Every structure is written in C-alpha cells, then in structure tokens.
Chains A and B, each alone.
Chain A
Amino acid sequence: MPRSLEDLLADVPLFEGLDDEARTLVAGCARNVHFGAGDLIFKEGGEADVFYVVRHGSVAVEAFVPARGPVTIETIEAGEVLGWSWLFAPYRWHFDARALTVVRATVFDGVCLREKCESDPALGYTLMGRFAQVLIDRLQSTRVRLLDVYGNDGRH
C-alpha cells in the first residue's frame, strides 16, 4: 500500500520531530516526483520556486565552467535537501542540478510553503532553523574542501 506524503515526511531528517499538524501543513505543499538518470532537475538562472528532498538516488549540483564543461560541486543523496534558492529573493537557481541515477524525490512548492510560514510564524521559525542547519552543513563542507587537504605538500 502506498505511503502517504505525511508518512514519507516522517522519515526525512529535515522534518524529524515535527508534530502531526505541522507535517500535514508541509505535506499540503508537496508531491512526489521521479527523474531518469541524466535528467536536468533545474538550471542555473531558472526560477527557484521549489525545493526537493531526495528519497532515492543521487543528484549532482553542477556549475558549467567554460572550457571545462559541467563541474560537480556536490552530490545530494537520499534523505538530503536539494535547493534553498526558493527561500530568498530573487528566487533564482545558482547552479544546475542533474540526476545521476534514477531519482525519486518529494518536491515542495516554495511559494505555498513561504505563505504558510508567514501565516504561522512558529512553523516558519522551525523550518527556517532546520534550513539554516542545512546551509551551515553545506558551508562547512565547502570550507573544508577549500583547504584542499589532499593536495601535495611537497615534503620528502
């Protein structure tokens, strides 16, 4: 028997511990989607009116670099959030996202969710705190990689 969206959200780390009412509100802005391997999920500069929670598969966040082609900046795996540009004006994607494998995801309507957060500040505060944690994790990950820790240190 197919699981309801509310049930699926209970397994997503981003929504862990949300009460039933909040989860129902969030699920009201969500639907399940499917991408084939190689599909472009969103493109740099496009309107960022959604975000995704990957339930199965792997997504590459890419930047197109002239003379190098697409460069993968990070991969997003099952349980992780894809996209936060929906949170902040001007709501445009900063990178491309491409399915590396078959991807099953839940997509959330950002406009719908922003409206619910504005009318329910407690929900908004909770969700904003959780997205802030996602942003911090990605920032820390990027900082560590900026150190190029595996580079040749030229000794011996």
Chain B
Amino acid sequence: MAKNTPKQYAVALYEITEKLSGAKLSEALKEFVTLVIREHKTKQFDKIIKEFESYAKKKEGIVEIDIVSARELDQKLLNKIMHVFGKNVEAEVTVDESILGGIKIKTEDKILDGSLKTQLLKLKESII
C-alpha cells in the first residue's frame, strides 16, 4: 500500500471527530493515536496536527492568509485587507523591510505580490 501523507491522516481525523463529543471523542482520539503508532508515523505528529488545523479551518470556512508588509499595518487597514478575502479571515502579519513598500499576501496556493520591490524590478525589466 502506498504511504499515507500527513494530510490524509488529518482528513481522516477530521472526518471521524467532526460529529463526536465527550467520551466518544476521546475514544476516537485514542484509536487514532494507536493507528498512527501502529503505522510508525509518530514522527509526523507535528505535521498531522498542522494539516489538521488548516483542514479544519478550511472546512469551517476560515481563510488563512499571510501578510508581509514593509511597515506595521494599522488595524483599520488590516480589517480592510481581511475583508477582501471573506468573512472569516485569520491573518498573520510579518514585517519585512526588504520589500521596500506595499504588501505581499500569501493565501493557500497563491501569492499576491504588490510589493514595491517587485514593481521596481518589473519597471527595470520594461525599460532595459
């Protein structure tokens, strides 16, 4: 059988635990942990948890984005940016001065690059 990826474990975990609570939930979790141990995947627990988080968020309609900006963003602007991506947005902001200005937003499988650095590079390309 092919190797299962951490994502497949995460999806499985989400699907079994979705509608459970209380004693049944802890029983299911116990079973899951036994499975992971039996398949020698304990090393990948970190990854499975990470994948589980992002999968659960996606299922519940939460959008995760990473914002890179040159300077600290104020809350009003941040809210405006987050509003573009939907209602339930979780944003992680990092400050990186090397992009000079503007912002760079990373969603799940896309990068929206509005940084000044990229614009200048493009201008350079268009002139030379």
A, B: real partners: no
Q: List B residues at the A interface (Cβ < 8 Å).
A: none
